Amino acid sequence: MAALIGTFGSYAEITRGYLQAKPWSVEKIAAKTELATKAAFISFKPDGKLSGTGGCNRFVGLYDYNPADSYLTIRNLGRTRKLCARKLMQQERQIMNALHAASALKELPGKRLVLIDKNGAELIWLK
């Protein structure tokens, strides 16, 4: 992770308590500003579990987070399989792909977070 921080600048430390304080609403996915639904969210639990919804289906998984370097790993993701409108299914697929690719967190102004990949690309904006 040191290479990530060295390449993209150091991030303010995001504490575990801050990350786990609330369900984070998905604001944007990979620079797309219009979501199919505003109901998408992610919750990071103190026991290392995460849960949420892409707007139709629910998902669960496990995560590890190191506040010292903002390193994040998400694994063992599973989800329900309800059929939803096409745009909503596309949104959920993008969220799941982003969760699989996430490797760090960055805090943005306005009490927002962004999940980023190993190359520093911003994947999901949370508020």
- pLDDT by residue for the chain (127 residues), tens only, comes to 333 333 344 455 789 999 999 999 999 998 676 787 778 999 999 999 999 999 899 999 999 999 988 999 999 999 999 999 998 999 999 999 999 999 999 998 888 999 999 999 999 999 9
**Domain containing 114 — which CATH number?**
2.40.128.270
Closest CA to 75 of 56, 54, 53, 60: 60
Tell me the residue range of the domain where 82 lies: 2-126
Q: Which residues pair with 107 in a beta bridge?
A: 113
Q: Are 48 and 85 spatial neighbours (Cβ–Cβ below 8 Å)?
A: no
**Pairwise CA distance, residues 30 & 85, whole Å:** 20
3-state secondary structure (DSSP) of residue 80: coil
Q: How many domains does the chain have?
A: 1
